[in-house]
């Protein structure tokens, strides 16, 4: 867009305000009325209010000074610095001066106290201070005058009323003489439903593990049912039998962990079985030889059964442990995300509540940029 085209667009938007202010519309007060009427209610819905400044022709620089420094006493200095910047950057501002007023006369008039200043002065002020200026109006989107492209640049919020007057915008409960720290927060429809709980996703391996666990549980239930049936549904006998099975599985696990020790124990048990009391009795050896051999075969068969059951139990325990470890990792990741979200929310809350050192967010659905 050329400078002349930009000048026309700016003029159509009411941006070219270089002359003395017009009279307010019929039925409106000549100056800023108490409370600001409808604009005051519009700001109150955002948690904001008007801080009125005198309508003496210096209102723009008074309002900007109140935002920047917490008071409007330096409005003349802000005016002169703005005019100096416009002169240095003449090629940027001359196209926006009305055709019948030379640029030199325009800036000379603007430098005089009490001369109304418009959007060209706001642009110059914003660029000179490397800040953004946000303008609030009744029943209109926010205007954002960008003085810099930097992220998180400071914003000065002012209100434009009656087509002639500027006021400063503050938080509702801010009556201090401290600088104002307001920042626009652009909202969209999705922001209304962005508070969703993060659910950990199940992987294929975890689903397979759960299926295996269910199978193992069904097998355990079948084992208990068989023992109850064998013991004629005698609860105490069934419980004792289950304890014996568990003890056998535990011994089998120990044997796998220490096979050498088990061999020694097995040899010791064989000697005790052969000799009865551990002493050698030749006369009884032949008498009990057949029974001892049968006991050995039965012991080996029992050990093989226990080893088989223990292998299944070990696999089941290992898979269960892996599943628990994976679940703990997922829970820990979820906990870290929740803590991070809480930390962000706390930081945002602190920014909104501290009027001197932090930023108050001004929620907006749309803004027009210059």
Which residues belong to the active site?
56, 59, 165
**What is the rounded distance in angstroms from the CA atom of residue 8 to the CA atom of residue 29?**
30
**What is the rounded distance in angstroms from the CA atom of residue 44 to the CA atom of residue 173?**
11
**What is the rounded distance in angstroms from the CA atom of residue 299 to the CA atom of residue 292?**
10
What are the backbone angles phi and psi of residue 28, rounded to the nearest 5°? -100, 155
Tokens of 345: 């929310």
Contacts of 83 (CB under 8 A, 6+ apart): 107, 110, 111, 124
**What is the rounded distance in angstroms from the CA atom of residue 152 to the CA atom of residue 149?**
9
**What is the rounded distance in angstroms from the CA atom of residue 145 to the CA atom of residue 122?**
7
Residue with tokens 């003395």: 20
- Tell me the CA end-to-end span of the chain in Å, nearest whole number: 13
For the purposes of burial, counting CB atoms within 10 Å of the CB of 138, is it exposed (0-12), middle (13-18) or buried (19 or more)?
Answer: middle
Tokens of 274: 């052969």
β-pair partners for 364: 186
Tokens of 54: 């005198």
β-pair partners for 159: 136, 167
Say how many C-beta atoms besides its own lie within 10 A of residue 102's C-beta: 12
Burial 7-22 (b: 16+ CB within 10 A, else e): beebeeeebbbbeebe
């Amino acid at each position: 867009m050329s400078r002349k085209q930009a000048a026309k667009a700016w003029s159509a938007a009411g941006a070219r305000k270089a002359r003395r202010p017009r009279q307010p519309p019929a039925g409106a007060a000549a100056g800023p009325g108490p409370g600001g009427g409808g604009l005051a209610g519009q700001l109150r819905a955002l948690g904001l209010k008007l801080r009125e400044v005198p309508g003496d022709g210096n209102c723009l620089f008074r309002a900007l000074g109140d935002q920047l420094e917490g008071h409007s006493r330096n409005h003349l200095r802000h005016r002169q610095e703005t005019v100096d910047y416009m002169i240095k950057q003449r090629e940027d501002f001359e196209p926006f001066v009305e055709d019948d007023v030379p640029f030199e006369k325009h800036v000379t008039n603007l430098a005089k106290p009490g001369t109304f200043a418009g959007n060209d002065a706001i642009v110059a002020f914003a660029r000179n201070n490397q800040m953004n200026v946000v303008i609030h109006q009744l029943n209109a989107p926010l205007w954002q005058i960008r003085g810099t492209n930097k992220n998180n640049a400071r914003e000065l919020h002012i209100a434009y009323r009656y087509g002639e007057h500027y006021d400063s915008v503050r938080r509702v409960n801010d009556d201090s003489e401290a600088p104002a720290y307001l920042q626009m927060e652009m909202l969209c429809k999705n922001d209304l439903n962005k508070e969703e709980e993060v659910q950990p996703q199940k992987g294929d391996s975890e689903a397979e593990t759960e299926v295996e666990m269910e199978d193992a549980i069904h097998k355990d239930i079948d084992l208990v049912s068989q023992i109850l049936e064998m013991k004629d549904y005698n609860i105490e006998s069934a419980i004792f039998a289950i304890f014996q099975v568990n003890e056998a599985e535990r011994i089998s696990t120990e044997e796998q962990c220490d096979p050498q020790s088990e061999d020694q124990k097995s040899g010791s048990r064989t000697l005790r079985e052969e000799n009865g009391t551990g002493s050698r009795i030749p006369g009884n050896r032949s008498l009990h030889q057949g029974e001892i051999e049968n006991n050995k075969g039965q012991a080996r068969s029992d050990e093989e059964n226990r080893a088989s059951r223990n292998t299944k139990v070990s696999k089941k325990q290992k898979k269960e442990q892996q599943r628990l470890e994976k679940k703990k990792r997922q829970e820990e990741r979820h906990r870290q995300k929740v803590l991070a979200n809480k930390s962000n929310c706390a930081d945002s809350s602190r920014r909104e509540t501290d009027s001197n050192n932090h930023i108050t967010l001004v929620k907006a659905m749309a803004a027009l940029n210059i």
